[in-house]
Amino acid sequence: MASDPKAQIEAALRAALAKVAPAHASAPILLERPKQADHGDLSTNIALQLAKQLGRRPREFAEQLAASIAGDAFERPEVAGPGFINFRLKAGARFGVIARVLEQGARYGWSRSGGGEPVQVEFVSANPTGPLHVGHGRQAALGDAIATLLESQGHKVTREYYYNDAGAQIDKLAWSVQARAKGIRPGERGWPEEGYAGEYIEDIAREYKGDANDVPEVRRFAVAYLRREQDADLAAFGVKFDVYYLESSLYTEGKVEAVLKALVASGKTYEKDGALWLRTTDYGDDKDRVVRKSDGSYTYFVPDVAYHVTKWQRGFKRVINVQGTDHHSTVTRVRAGLQALGLGIPPGWPEYVLHSLVKVTRGGEEVKISKRAGSYVTVRDLIDWVGRDAVRFFLVSRKADSEFVFDVDLARERSDENPVYYVQYAHARLCSVFAQWGGKPATLGSVRLDALRGDREALLASLLDEFPETLAKAAREAAPHDIAFYLRELAAQFHSYYNAERILVDDEELRSARLALCAAVRQTLANGLSLIGVSAPEKM
């Protein structure tokens, strides 16, 4: 396997520290890419970090350290500013990344260590009361990408969907379907208050052949119907789950009641105004919360805690919940309930990724109504309008908690302004180069790269080298937008290179070297797109 120059520099730094500051030879070393290209390929502030502990002037210590550093992969290091040590890679080391990409193929960027802890990622978890809306779409795109990123770092990931198939919303669904089955339309006498008015309710009522007066049976039929609909929407979106967990099972298996008894036994509850309260303020909440209302029914809080107890009992020491920002208050509440149970669950468990709403625009105006859903734009609407790839790329292209405007017209454009088209076109363009060449890409892993001397080639190689650490950071921070940003930058640098240089030149050595670079760029683009659930087309 081609060696990693970053690892070589770190090893050389450690050897130098062992000479000039042996007590600090195992100090953490941070190697970063300087913001300015003329500062080299990699830089460290280790001298600044250790100088105070050593009673030394940072720059003087940096110069002593730099003088003791030697290696084949880089030029003599330079000291800059107050004590930064900058490294410039030799050409062979700089372009060594090409061989690593071609050797590792579809697994380039993935962690090679494996053995990561099991992680559960829960996302979408929509009430089965209607088609999935664009907010659920953002959750599906984020959750699936986060799960894939974690898998890339060696974690065994379980994708889970929590079906809220119990409670008041399901009752409203049943009453709405019942009314339509009896011929009652929205707004007419007998229509339930806050009933669901979308066309899909009429579709369910039309399919229902049982007794319209049997509400439990209407409820079962409607929930099953909408679960199939949501599953079809998710299949169209390319999202699969390992586990579907039913809220109703928490009641039928006595788990909600068991949690309530455990909370009372903990001594953290009290009676007030006929209701049962939990002292969530003991765990950072702004006020105590009701767990059982005066009418004897539970608040949403109790089944949420019971559900998370099952996650802990199933062995998931790391759980990431992807939810809308409207769930912000449940974060503190659920964690407080889990703490009160005294099960040894850490205070910050589970983790949450909260996403903001999505506004959809078309023709310069906001789109709010879907004929099928009645009052919101559905995931299926978006897929029908612009295709799965554009929807998935767009919905992970911003930080989760930032508001996002989904511009349907932009997503349909075949232009540089459309980010998913821009990235996919770079991949297709590369495929076109290889089709014109007609040779075997498998032979490029061992070609000589000495002929690569251009600044654009060096920049592309540097970007390729950044991919594994970009991927590791995105997985660590549950931030798939980092991958979207990276892909746009890599595509931009390739388009710039393609427009400035001929790839298929007459000089065989230069042609082979440039093709090897192109093969590495193509592979990395494909790898990055697959992480966020987007295809890498060969033609466009």
Question: Tens of pLDDT along 7-22?
Answer: 888 899 999 999 989 9
pLDDT, averaged across the chain:
93
pLDDT at site 1: 41
CA distance 266 to 256: 15
| Span 158-184, average pLDDT | 93
> What is the three-class DSSP state of 33?
coil
Q: Is the pTM of this model over 0.85?
A: yes
| Span 509-532, average pLDDT | 98
| Span 307-326, average pLDDT | 95
Cβ-count burial 429-441 (b if 16+ within 10 Å, e if not): bbbebbeeeeeee
CA distance 246 to 229: 16
Domain borders along the chain are 5-89, 96-114+416-531
Would you say residue 4 has pLDDT above 80? Answer: no
pLDDT at site 225: 96
Look up residue 145 and give its two tokens: 């990408």
| Span 235-257, average pLDDT | 95
Residue 320 backbone phi and psi in degrees, to 5: -120, 120
Residue 156 backbone phi and psi in degrees, to 5: -90, 110
| Span 67-74, average pLDDT | 85
Judge contact between 504 and 142, C-beta under 8 A. Answer: no
Report the candidate in 257, 283, 281, 261 with the shortest Cα–Cα distance to residue 335. 283
pLDDT at site 114: 66
Look up residue 142 and give its two tokens: 């984020």
CA distance 438 to 521: 18
Cβ-count burial 521-539 (b if 16+ within 10 Å, e if not): bbbbbbbbbebbbbbbeee
pLDDT at site 2: 47
What is the sign of the dihedral through the CA atoms of 529, 492, 478 and 331? negative
The fraction of the chain above a pLDDT of 90, given in percent, is 79
pLDDT at site 3: 61
| Span 498-507, average pLDDT | 97
CATH number for the domain whose boundaries are 96-114+416-531: 1.10.730.10
5-89 belongs to CATH 3.10.20.340: no
| Span 430-447, average pLDDT | 95
| Span 257-266, average pLDDT | 95
| Span 270-280, average pLDDT | 95
CA distance 408 to 391: 9
Q: How many residues does the chain have?
A: 540
What is the sign of the dihedral through the CA atoms of 430, 433, 434 and 435? positive
| Span 173-196, average pLDDT | 93
Paired sense of beta strands 84-87 and 42-44, if any: antiparallel
pLDDT at site 127: 87
Taking phi first (over 0 means left), then psi (-120 to 50 degrees means alpha), and beta for anything else, what does residue 425 get?
A: alpha
pLDDT at site 143: 98
pLDDT at site 328: 79
Convert the pLDDT of each residue in 353-368 to its tens digit.
Answer: 999 989 999 999 999 8
Report the candidate in 183, 158, 346 with the shortest Cα–Cα distance to residue 245. 158
Would you say residue 320 has pLDDT above 90? Answer: yes
Convert the pLDDT of each residue in 88-146 to its tens digit.
Answer: 887 777 899 999 999 999 999 999 776 788 999 999 998 888 889 999 999 999 999 99
CA distance 529 to 278: 46
